[in-house]
Amino acid sequence: MNLRSPGWLLLLLPLAGLIAAYLVVQRRRGRYAVRFTNLDLLDKVAPSRPGWRRHLPAAAFCATLGLLVVGFARPTTDVQVPRERATIVVAFDVSASMEATDIEPNRFEAAREAALAFVERLPERFNAGLVPFSGTASVAVPPTTDREMLRTAIGRLRTEEGTAIGEAVLAARDAIRTLDEQAETEPPPAHVVLLSDGSNTSGRSVEAAAGEIAADRIPVSTIAYGTEEGTITLPSGDLVQVPADGAALEQLATATGGDFHEAATGEELQDVYEDIGSSVGYRTEEREVWQWFVAAGLISALAAAAMSLLWFSRIP
């Protein structure tokens, strides 16, 4: 927390002097009481003494002054605000290797559930798009705030042969370019989240795609999904190993200014999506919170008045 007008804190010095004076007065009152040697008569004159309660209204009054002083100093705090026109495109690998069962029930189903959860957590004002890719890549859903359209498209995904990572990157870039009429001259704050479990096997190279999208200053965060033990069964009945290959994905993320992640379970994948969503879709703003301190000071003042009226039949 920062203060925009810290000079007001100098008013805490008189408050500290007031507290010190109150403590001195209380000590003197204790000494005067001891001088009254006839304790039996003292009990009859003042049989019921407020004890510690008599200090509470004074403490609440001092807290009121302190809170108001801090409020005048204009305290601020950092808050996360959704970016206007923020756009996230999910590039989703639907290659046949996603049917590997090293992740229950398989990579594809677990990844689809995580993608659905990710879309649900995005703020309503975010534009989100979907680019499924196998041997080719296409824009299934252009960036939109229509979450139902996204959910429906994710639910209809099916696996196919091939893995065109480079084509997926460029398809996502093209989708971002057509967000609105301003996109060409004023590109939106955008991010591509690409999930894959394999290597590029068709289309343009990952390196070429990375160079093109980096020129548009669109970061690509990549997720290598799966384990080294993944296998699929071909139509011929042969068992083929499909270990997750993160090297190319890490290079893609590095070249475009994105982040690289590895996920070996459905839970880990959901955690990765959550981290990405919170890091790419918000900006940090400094906002004044003096109202909180003024409100707390008023509540403290009301408490002081209520305690004094209840216990001593007067308002200080």
The reply to whether 153 and 211 lie within a common domain is: yes
Strand partners, 193: 90, 221
Q: What percent of the chain has pLDDT over 90?
A: 37
Query: pLDDT tens, 277-303?
Result: 666 556 677 888 889 898 998 998 888
Q: With cut-offs at 50, 70 and 90, classify the pLDDT of residue 33.
A: low
Residues in CB range of 243: below 8 A, 6 or more apart: 226, 227, 228, 229, 230
d(C-alpha 64, C-alpha 41), whole Å: 39
The reply to whether 132 and 17 lie within a common domain is: no
pLDDT(36) > 70: no
Domain that holds residue 36: 2-78+287-312
Please count the structural domains in the chain.
2
Which helix H or strand E contains 195, and what residues bound it?
strand 190-196
The reply to whether 236 and 177 lie within a common domain is: yes
**pLDDT value at residue 146:** 93
- Of all residues in the chain, what percent are helix, strand and coil, respectively (each to 5)? 50, 20, 30
Q: Which among 65, 108, 104, 41 has a CA at the least distance from the CA of 265?
A: 104
The reply to whether 118 and 226 lie within a common domain is: yes
**pLDDT value at residue 202:** 93
Bond before 105 cis per omega within 30 degrees: yes
Query: pLDDT tens, 239-281?
Result: 888 887 788 899 999 999 999 999 877 788 888 887 776 665 5
pTM score of the predicted model: 0.65
Query: pLDDT tens, 146-174?
Result: 999 999 999 999 999 999 999 999 999 99
The reply to whether 272 and 297 lie within a common domain is: no
Beta carbons of 242 and 230 less than 8 angstroms apart: yes
d(C-alpha 220, C-alpha 201), whole Å: 19
Radius of gyration of the chain (CA): 32
Query: pLDDT tens, 188-247?
Result: 888 999 999 878 999 999 999 999 999 999 999 999 998 888 888 877 778 888 887 788
The CATH number of whichever domain residue 140 belongs to comes to 3.40.50.410
Q: Which among 115, 132, 99 has a CA at the least distance from the CA of 240?
A: 99
The reply to whether 194 and 101 lie within a common domain is: yes
**pLDDT value at residue 30:** 58
How, if at all, do strands 231-233 and 239-241 pair? Answer: antiparallel
The reply to whether 71 and 205 lie within a common domain is: no
The reply to whether 185 and 294 lie within a common domain is: no
Which helix H or strand E contains 286, and what residues bound it?
strand 282-288
Q: Which residue has the higher pLDDT, 93 or 265?
A: 93
Q: Is 147 helix (H, G, I), strand (E, B) or coil?
A: helix
Q: How many CB atoms lie within 10 A of CB 50?
A: 10
The reply to whether 303 and 171 lie within a common domain is: no
What b/e string do you get for 1-22 counting C-beta neighbours within 10 Å, with b at 16 or more?
A: eebeeeebeeeeeeeeeeeeee
Query: pLDDT tens, 38-69?
Result: 555 545 555 555 567 778 888 888 899 899 99
Phi, psi of 213 (to 5 degrees): -75, -30
